[in-house]
């Protein structure tokens, strides 16, 4: 193994999660697999073909470079939707490749029409509506201009979708705001349809909205975090539990992140360990060097706090997490040897290190921690 750690991705876990997700929506509702952020750290190249094997035919990415990586990894034709960034230079490429994309301002709309006229190929656009997130999207005041443009460019623009995004459906605190967004969306949709503008698909829901607000499902749901086996928030999980008190957690994590012991060291009582004086050995100790540090996404805030699994037992990180390594206390795991497997995230024996606990200790969101797992850690598919 050239690399000091690797990530395993479980196919059976993905299949179980996708089966669960499909049961949350009516049979005709399409599930778009959201794979921005390097498939939430799972690796676009590894994750996309796996998702296709599990029946996914629609992917959503943030940017054109992700769409390009996706196209290179697909094993069969699939719909690709860019929800965010495309430079004008890449727009032509996107239209030529048949990639669908969000349009959220008049410049982009005009550009899309021009490009498609130039190429003689329709641009498949999704109009994003501003409903209250106040990030991107057409405000009601823009709609007249949008209508004119769409009518004028009927032959070039295909209105594949009408969409919006909720500002925090994972928290009950935002309940009123989400409902307001939904009713604004419906009002604007109606206004467009009265002038003869009928999109093929309506879509608004992310994972949390799918779970908490069935009215948001419409024709397609855009699912990120749940397909990877994580609840969008503790609140969405407890809401599910209260509706299904008998059910165990239906989601399974896909990721195991593993390394191994690089070397062992005996440290006499009273010695400091690593940089500075944050850890002083309280007794004679045996420490294992694990070759993963903050350069690999193992946060420095886990210094003296993190835990890993070794021989099926939990072991504490001692001292400061370095750029490329950390020390782990194996004094009470006498069988520990150079080369032994170390689990940083995921399961070993009866124990597991969850992303949630890891994220909490390192003061990150699930989403943040996952997407910070570097591109160059190798990813392998397991059953």
Ligand X SMILES: *Cc1c(COP(=O)(O)O)cnc(C)c1O
Residue 207 touches ligand X, criterion: CB under 6 A = yes
**Residue in 152, 200, 275, 338 annotated catalytic:** 275
Residue 159 touches ligand X, criterion: CB under 6 A = no
* Structure-token match 């059910």, residue found: 247
Neighbours of 139 (CB within 10 A): 11
Residue 224 touches ligand X, criterion: CB under 6 A = yes
Stretch touching ligand X by CB under 6 A, among 184-192, 206-214, 259-267, 271-279: 206-214
Stretch touching ligand X by CB under 6 A, among 220-228, 278-286, 289-297, 372-380: 220-228
Q: To 5 degrees, how large is the angle CA 160–CA 162–CA 168?
A: 135
Is residue 172 annotated as part of the catalytic site, yes or no?
no
Tell me how far, at minimum, the Cβ of 203 lies from ligand X, in Å. 8
What is the DSSP code string of 221-281? EEE-GGGGT--SSHHHHHHHHHH-TT--------EEEEEE--EEEEE-TT-B-SSTTS-B-
Give the three-class secondary structure for 363.
coil
Q: Tell me how far apart the alpha carbons of residues 159 and 96 are, in angstroms, rounded to a whole number.
A: 16
Single out the residue of 320, 340, 329, 254 nearest to residue 288, CA to CA.
Answer: 329
Residue 291 touches ligand X, criterion: CB under 6 A = no
341: left (phi over 0), alpha (psi -120 to 50) or beta: beta
Q: Is 135 annotated among the ligand-binding residues?
A: yes
Q: Tell me how far apart the alpha carbons of residues 229 and 194 are, in angstroms, rounded to a whole number.
A: 41
The binder of ligand X chosen from 156, 165, 217, 253 (CB under 6 A):
165
74-93: which residues touch ligand X (CB under 6 A)? 83
Residue 126 touches ligand X, criterion: CB under 6 A = no
Is residue 228 annotated as part of the catalytic site, yes or no?
no
Stretch touching ligand X by CB under 6 A, among 136-144, 217-225, 236-244, 248-256: 217-225
Size of site (CB under 6 A) for ligand X: 12
- Which parts of this chain interact with ligand X (CB under 6 A)? 34, 36, 83, 165, 206-208, 222-225, 232
> Which residues belong to the annotated binding site for substrate?
135, 323
Report, as residue numbers or ranges, the catalytic residues.
36, 275
């Amino acid at each position: 193994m050239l690399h000091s750690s690797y990530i395993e991705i479980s196919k059976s876990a993905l299949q179980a999660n996708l089966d669960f997700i499909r049961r949350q929506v009516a049979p005709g509702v399409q599930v778009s697999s959201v794979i921005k952020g390097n498939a939430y750290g799972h690796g676009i190249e590894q994750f996309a073909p796996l998702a296709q094997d599990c029946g996914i035919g629609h992917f959503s990415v943030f940017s054109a470079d992700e769409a390009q990586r996706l196209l290179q990894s697909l094993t069969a034709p699939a719909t690709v939707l860019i929800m965010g960034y495309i430079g004008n230079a890449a727009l032509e490429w996107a239209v030529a490749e048949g990639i669908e994309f969000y349009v959220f301002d008049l410049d982009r709309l005009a550009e899309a029409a021009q490009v498609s006229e130039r190429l003689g190929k329709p641009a498949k656009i999704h109009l994003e509506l501003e409903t209250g997130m106040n990030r991107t999207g057409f405000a009601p005041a823009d709609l007249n201009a949008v209508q004119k443009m769409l009518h004028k460019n009927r032959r070039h623009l295909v209105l594949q979708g009408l969409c919006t995004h909720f500002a925090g459906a994972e928290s009950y605190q935002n309940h009123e705001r989400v409902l307001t967004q939904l009713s604004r969306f419906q009002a604007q949709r109606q206004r467009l349809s009265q002038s003869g503008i009928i999109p093929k698909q309506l879509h608004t829901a992310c994972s949390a909205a799918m779970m908490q607000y069935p009215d948001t499902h419409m024709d397609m749901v855009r699912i990120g975090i749940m397909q990877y086996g994580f609840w969008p928030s503790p609140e969405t999980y407890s809401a599910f539990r209260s509706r299904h008190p008998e059910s165990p957690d239906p989601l399974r994590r896909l990721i195991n992140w593993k390394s191994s012991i690089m070397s062992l060291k005996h440290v006499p009582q009273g010695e400091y360990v690593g940089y500075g004086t944050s850890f002083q050995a309280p007794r004679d100790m045996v420490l294992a060097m694990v070759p993963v540090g903050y350069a690999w996404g193992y946060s420095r805030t886990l210094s003296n706090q993190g835990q890993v699994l070794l021989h099926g037992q939990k072991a504490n990180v001692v001292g400061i997490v370095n750029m490329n390594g950390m020390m782990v206390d194996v004094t009470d795991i006498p069988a520990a040897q150079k080369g032994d497997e170390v689990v940083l995230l995921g399961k070993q024996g009866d124990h597991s290190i969850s992303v949630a606990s890891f994220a909490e200790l390192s003061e990150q969101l699930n989403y943040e921690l996952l997407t910070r797992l570097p591109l160059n850690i190798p990813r392998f598919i397991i059953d």
